[in-house]
Every structure is written in structure tokens, then in C-alpha cells.
Homo-oligomer: A and B are copies of this chain.
């Protein structure tokens, strides 16, 4: 690498630490930021500082929040009887975009992974159990917990562990379907996914009744 003036080298270095940003992209972004309108560059710096200063975890679901409760937990219109368990805050966004779930969430902040030394105690599982018990203790147990951890080894293990812990504490426990993605190609699906797609097959409505 050729010589660079210190502030430029420092910004390239800081940007290159971001996920998916290689040294070439970091360099391109730096040179863009050097010449962008002053207000644009400073707005980015200010926004960055603001998320660090003003964002905390929701006391109830552990999604990001600016007060004690996140936007979803403080929304009275959401369905209290259903709880969706996800690994990361980004997963909440993904499910929210579908508009197919109107219940509440619980963010674990990871998945059980013995290889990486992440046991259940490192995740927000204790708090999830407590949430279920608190609801049951006031006579309105959660009707359904949807386990929406990733369909990976870690996500499956986490779902299994949570299902065992929640058994008897909530009405029903479900797991999101695993199968061929919509628009996907059977021919290119891996074997494990295909097995899951077969196992999870559903009767075609109407056809069974004929």
C-alpha cells in the first residue's frame, strides 16, 4: 500500500472493520466521504454517536430501544398471546416486514454453540422462561411460542433446548417451517432441505375431501 495521510489511513482502517467491507471498498468510501457535502459526512458521524449514546436494550424482549421498552413491546395493539423467539434484532425486522405476525418478540442475542463456547446462560433464555412464568402466574399463559431461530445446527439446537424448557409453561410451541424457498429450484436444493420439505409436506386443501 502506498503512503497515505494519517486521517485518510485511519478512516479506511475503521471502515474496513465493518462486516462485508474490504480494504478496496473502505478506500472508495473514504474518498467519497472526503468529498461529500460537509453536512452528509457529519450527519453520518452524528448518527453513529447517537446510536451508541441513545440506544439500549428493551427490558422485556431485548430488541433495541430508546426507552425502557421497544416500539413493539410498548404497542398496545399487538397480540400478547403469541411470542416469536428470534436470534437477532435483525430477525425481528425481517419478520415484521412480512406483516404476517402481530404478536410480541423475544430476542435471544445469539444461538447455543458449544464450539464457540456459547451456552444457554449466555443468551436471554432465562428471561424468556421468566416471561412465560410471569404470564402463567397471573392466569393468562402465552398461547403460542413460535421458535424462529435460524435453520442451522446452532439455531435448531437452541430451538430444541428452548422447547424443552418451555414445555408445560405455555400453550403451544411451534417451529417455523423449513423447506424449499419460494421461487427456489428443487433440483438445486440441498438434501437436508429437501428432506425437511418432504417431512413438512401439507395436504392440499380440498383435494383430500374429494
Contacts and interface: CB of A to CB of B under 8 A. Distances in A.
A31 B88 contact: yes
A44 B15 contact: yes
A25 B90 CA distance: 12
Given A7-B66, A14-B40, A19-B29, 4 more contacts: A11-B51, A33-B52, A42-B49, A42-B52
A28 B96 CA distance: 16
Contacts of A29: 18-21
Interface string A31-63: 111101010111111111111101100000000
28 contacts: A1-B97, A3-B96, A4-B71, A5-B65, A5-B71, A6-B66, A7-B47, A7-B51, A7-B55, A7-B66, A8-B51, A8-B55, A10-B50, A11-B44, A11-B51, A14-B48, A17-B36, A17-B40, A18-B32, A19-B28, A21-B29, A30-B51, A34-B51, A34-B52, A42-B48, A45-B45, A45-B46, A45-B48
B30 A14 contact: no
Nearest to A2: B96
B41 A5 contact: no
A166 interface: no
A48 B47 CA distance: 12
A48 B48 contact: yes
Chain A residues touching B, majority SS: helix
A171 interface: no
Interface of A: 1-8, 10-11, 13-15, 17-21, 25, 27-34, 36, 38, 40-52, 54-55, 64-66, 70-72, 88-90, 93, 96-97
A25 B34 contact: no
Contacts of A3: 71-72, 96
A42 B47 CA distance: 11
Given A8-B64, A54-B7, A19 B48 contact: no
Contacts of A43: 14
Contact of A70 (B5, B28, B50, B55): B5
